[in-house]
Every structure is written in C-alpha cells, then in structure tokens.
Amino acid sequence: MPESRLSESLEDYLEAIYLLSSKDEEVRVAEIAEALGFSKPSVSEALTNLESKGFVEHEKYRGVRLTPEGKDLAKRVYERHKTLSIFLTRILGVPPARAAAEACRIEHTISEDTYDRLRRFVDEQMSQISDGLSRLSELSPGERGEIVRVQAPGWFRHRLLEMGFIAGEVVTLERVAPLRDPMEFVIKGYHVSLRREEAARVVVRRIENDTEA
C-alpha cells in the first residue's frame, strides 16, 4: 500500500503532475522541472522516491504517469489548495499573490478535520454569493454596489451597521491603496475606509454605471 503521508516537496510534485496531466495523461520530466523551477536531476530523484511509494509510474526516457493512488492523493492536495485560496481571497479579502503563497504553505500542514470544517464553511459562504452577487472588496474604483447582506461576527457586524452598511444602501468604491488595502468607500455621503478583508464581509449587487447617450 502507498504511504499516505509525504513531505511538502513531494506533495508539490504530485500536485504539479496532476495539473499538467489534465492536458495529456503522461507528463515529461522537463515539464515538471519547468513548472516547479527545479533541475531535471532533482525532479528525477523525486520521481524515483514517489515511484518507490507507489504514487507514480516512470520509465527512463518516457513520460510520468500517476497511479490511481497517486492521482487520488494529488487531487486531495489540489482541492485543499483551491479551497484555501478561495477562503483567503473571496472571504478574507487577501490579495491573490499573497493568498496563493500562503495557501501553498497551509495546504501541507492543515489537519483533515480542520480542512473538512473549513471546506464546509467555504461551501456555505460561497453558496450565498450567487446570482451575480459579489464581495464589496471585488469592486473596481468608481464602481457602485447595492448592499445585500453583511456576513461578519457580531461585534464587527454591529460596527459596519453603525457606519451605514445596511441592506439596500448603495456604496461606491472611491479609491484603493497599493495592493488594494485599505479601500475607501462612499456611503450615504460619508467617506469610510475599510481593510480589504473587512470589505470582503459585505455582499453587494453591482450597479451598472450610467453612460452618456
């Protein structure tokens, strides 16, 4: 039976092979090296390790193929990465580049129980962002949105409501700082600054700007 626990590096190899093999069933060593930024000898050494554990099949001068067990584990690693990225960007409002790097680190250390809880939370939150709705943090400068709901802990929800972020109110993104944090909004004639992760707590329906005839 293949081992279920791998080092972070080997999990990264499996994930890379899984993503590359979505185009072709077999993946070349050169493709893996380019995707991960490693040398071919390093990739070959890792593949030998993965093959000994039963996760890949690799013959010299031929492509690399995931075994059923390898594909199953690689898919789980990828799903963790995808869920964490959605959680960090869409729910917490973390900038995409930073979210990608942090998701890559967290995906290797998060326990199965914690991940399952996080996945259910993300699924629940994202199910409420449908029918053309967006996070306030996703607006572009000058864009307006009608507030639909505020998804935040009690104390923070109360603070947002006090600032006028109430369902039905129209809010405009005035300007953003570098890396989109903080963000300045105009609501009920007042200018309000929110951190990106705070703005991500507000669900809005985008309003098309009027155009001149």
| Domain termination residue (choose one: 106, 127, 148) | 127
Are residues 122 and 145 both part of a single domain? no
Q: Are 122 and 83 in contact (CB under 8 A)?
A: yes
Are residues 55 and 97 both part of a single domain? yes
Please report whether residue 11 resides in a domain. Answer: yes
| Domain termination residue (choose one: 81, 104, 127) | 127
33 vs 39: CA distance, rounded Å: 6
63: Cβ–Cβ under 8 A, 6 or more apart, which residues?
A: 24, 26, 27, 28
Are residues 22 and 103 both part of a single domain? yes
Are residues 17 and 120 both part of a single domain? yes
Are residues 140 and 77 both part of a single domain? no
Are residues 120 and 173 both part of a single domain? no
- Checking if the pLDDT of 53 tops 60, the result is yes
Are residues 93 and 146 both part of a single domain? no
Are residues 196 and 116 both part of a single domain? no
Please report whether residue 191 resides in a domain. Answer: yes
Q: Span 14-35, mean pLDDT?
A: 84
Q: Span 120-128, mean pLDDT?
A: 77
Please report whether residue 212 resides in a domain. Answer: no
Please report whether residue 183 resides in a domain. Answer: yes
103 vs 87: CA distance, rounded Å: 9
Task: For residue 138, count CB atoms less than 10 angstroms from its CB and return exposed for 0-12, middle for 13-18, buried for 19 or more.
Answer: buried
Q: Terminus-to-terminus CA distance in the chain, angstroms?
A: 69
Are residues 144 and 120 both part of a single domain? no
Are residues 96 and 20 both part of a single domain? yes
Q: Quick: pLDDT tens for 58-105.
A: 877 778 999 999 999 998 888 899 899 888 887 787 877 888 889 988
CATH assignment at residue 201 = 2.30.30.90
Q: What percent of the chain has pLDDT over 70?
A: 90
Its domain, for residue 197, covers 133-207
Q: How many domains does the chain have?
A: 2
Q: Quick: pLDDT tens for 185-201.
A: 999 999 999 988 888 88
Q: What percent of the chain has pLDDT over 90?
A: 29
Please report whether residue 213 resides in a domain. Answer: no
- Checking if the pLDDT of 128 tops 80, the result is no
